[in-house]
Amino acid sequence: MIGTVTKPMAEIYHYLQGEKKVIVVGCDGCARISHTGGELEVNSMADKLEEKGFNVIARVLPERTCYIHKTKKAFAPYDNEIKEADSFLVLGCGGAVQVVRQVTEEKGIYKPIHPGLNSIGHMDTIIEDTLFLEQCQECGECILEETGGICPVTKCAKGLLNGPCGGAENGKCEVDRNRDCAWILIYERLKRLGQLDRLKSYKPPKNYSKMSKPRMLQLNL
């Protein structure tokens, strides 16, 4: 899922300067899980805007705002409001903001689409619905088989592939002493598995062209 945090209200009010009629768009997927763009947050944001004198003419909650077809479906009952609105405030990730732009443009409508959230990364691990962690950077060349299931590309602040840097101390990362050194974790894991020999194999530099942006996945079904 994409982790998000709400932008400061002062920043949002600044975006909306000179606009009166606003549509607030949430996301019942990642943003709901992050407690930044579900039904509760959409209503709360709309209420705050109305207290400031804005006219929220629609509150829209697509099932997954990053899915263009789901956003089109959620927008279908609001054709009049979409035409009438001065702008849209999207409580979703950056992808959701761009999908709302695309969907409205396909209708021939060109209105400002404002982001209400900051996207802070792909959180692939969720602990009890309150702690969200990034453990995979989707590099396109997975080496977890060689590192005991611990990703140095993500867990190592420097992305080192062949062991720790010289700054690791007492098992902690040089960049952030509150974090465990990824390569110490990998060593301990491989030791438990009886696979320390894996550390002897050289891992060549990654082909970062596989991480070039924007990325695309085409399924041939």
Could you tell me how far CA 202 lies from the centroid of its own chain?
A: 32
SS (H, E, C) 68-117: HHHHHHHHHHHHHHHHHCCEEEECCCHHHHHHHHHHHHHCCCCCCEEECE
pLDDT for res 136: 87
CB-hemisphere CA count at 13 Å for 81?
A: 17
Give phi and psi for 136, each to the nearest 5: -145, 130
pLDDT for res 187: 96
CB of 75 within 8 A of CB of 82?
yes
Ranges of residues in the chain with a pLDDT under 50 are none
**Cβ-proximal residues to 193 (8 Å cutoff; 6+ apart), any chain:** 148
pLDDT for res 216: 80
pLDDT for res 209: 86
- 76 DSSP assignment: G
Q: Identify the structural domains of the chain with CATH numbers, from first to last.
A: 2-122 (3.40.50.1860), 135-208 (no CATH)
Q: Which two tokens stand for residue 154?
A: 């993500």
Find residue 23's DSSP bridge partners: 58, 88
Average pLDDT, the chain: 93
pTM: 0.82
Measured CA to CA, the distance from residue 160 to residue 156 in angstroms comes to: 6
**CA–CA–CA angle 128, 5, 104 (5° rounding):** 115
